[in-house]
Structure 1
Amino acid sequence: MPADQAAGRRAKYLTMLLLVVGSGLALLAATQPWFTIRLTDTANHSSSVTVAGSVAAPALTALALAGLALTAALAIAGPVFRIVLALLGVLLGVSVLISAITAVSDAVRASASAITSATGVAGDASIRHLVHSVETEFWPWLAMVAGALIIVAAAAVVVFSRLWPGPSRKYQTRFAGEDGRPAEEVVAEAADGGATPSSDTLDGASEEPSTLDRDAAIDSWDELTRGDDPTR
């Protein structure tokens, strides 16, 4: 394998790995507790509410799943569509970052729905009055790292996608020899030059006689089925 093709293959696999890792970390972070809210009611009785990432940043799960789907699409995308997907990947990574940063910057607002479910108290001012302290866990910071990884990987697609290897030749049919030309083209060229192509040059042309014999046998069988004599 040429050095440039090997480098392109490594760049492709590394980029896709970064996308998978970033999306997976974002999905993991969304399932973990982000905040522990300690509340004080009017009777000075303290209690705590644990807020999961899926509550503090509701869009994070969908964004992470979209990142995994984008990775699968990149694996089979062509050069032009690859750039479009990469730009979408940058947007996904930025959205993950915004979701995590917004939640951390105002944990009480991000936890409002969980506090309301636990206490029955609604309204921003009333909820803030109930909050005694907020403890931030490790997971929102991991979500920020995940968003940064997605952005870096998507940007790498834009920069290095021209080096990515093209479709494998195993999905193409009837190639003849090392130059990749169809067998019919090599046969026609050999006929124009007055030469007969060798069996080493062709890998598909040698199958033509057997194909014609098979078709003739099928036609003869059909004639016998209809009661006709194929030897006439």
Structure 2
Amino acid sequence: MTRRGRLFAVLAIVAGGALAIISSTQTWMDIALSAGATDPVPVPGAAAVTLLAPLSLAALALGLALTVVGRVLRYAFGGIAVFIGVALCVQALRVGFTLPVDAIAGTVTTTTGLTGDDAVASLVVSITPTIWPYLTGIAGAIIGLGGVLTLATGHAWASGGRRYQTADGAAPASRPHDAIDSWDDLSRGDDPTSR
């Protein structure tokens, strides 16, 4: 179960982060404006939720780092993954279900030059969501699940650094002891002939 727990946790966090980062480049909503643009104006995920790309990249990095960190960092990273997952899920579903003005304000301002929530709201005739906010909500839930799995099973994972140590805890020698090492021993005050 420990290998599966680690594998599932890492895969969940990395897959959720990858889906969320892809989502940040996709159209989350199409806006019809009362004046100016005749075609619907697309709102990308990164514009609808400004923290989408940074949180998604953090989840990817965190998932990859989980493969090599020790026990204490596993718990810290598991907690961070839960936080990232909940934040992404809540923000994405808020946009998908409520279609708030603040999620489209930046795009409308870029298109029309008008600022302020009231001015933006007065220009918008309709907002049509796509599937991407909901997929991002699912991605956030997957990241959060990976974090919970990390917290639940992380104590039993094998440490990544142990495979690079000998039985006495030292790192294995990568090459034989040579003349340069002997000079270094002399510099430290050790007798190289005692080896």
CA distance in 1, matches of 2:7, 2:119: 51
Letter in 2 for 1:29: S
Partner of 1:188: none
For residue 168 of structure 1, report the CA deviation from its aligned partner: 6.4
TM-score (normalizing by structure 1): 0.68
Which of 95, 117, 120 is 2:110 aligned to? 117
1:51 aligns with 2:48: no
Partner of 1:19: 13
Partner of 1:189: none
Larger radius of gyration: 1
Deviation string for 1:116-175 (max 9, x for gaps)?
A: 1111222212211111111100101011001000111100111111221234654122x4
Instruction: Determine helix, strand or coil for the equivalent of 2:50.
Output: coil
Percent identity between the two aligned chains:
32
TM-score (normalizing by structure 2): 0.80
Instruction: Determine helix, strand or coil for the equivalent of 2:159.
Output: coil
CA distance in 2, matches of 1:147, 1:172: 37
Deviation string for 1:7-64 (max 9, x for gaps)?
A: 211211111011111101110111100000001129xx84421110010111000000
CA distance in 2, matches of 1:167, 1:109: 44
For residue 102 of structure 1, report the CA deviation from its aligned partner: 3.3
Mark the CA change 1:167 to 1:34 in structure 2 (over 3 Å): closer, same or farther: closer
Partner of 2:59: 67
Unpaired stretches in structure 1, ≥5 consecutive residues: 1-6, 176-180, 183-210, 220-232
CA distance in 1, matches of 2:99, 2:139: 20
CA distance in 2, matches of 1:46, 1:170: 62
Cα root mean square deviation, aligned: 2.5
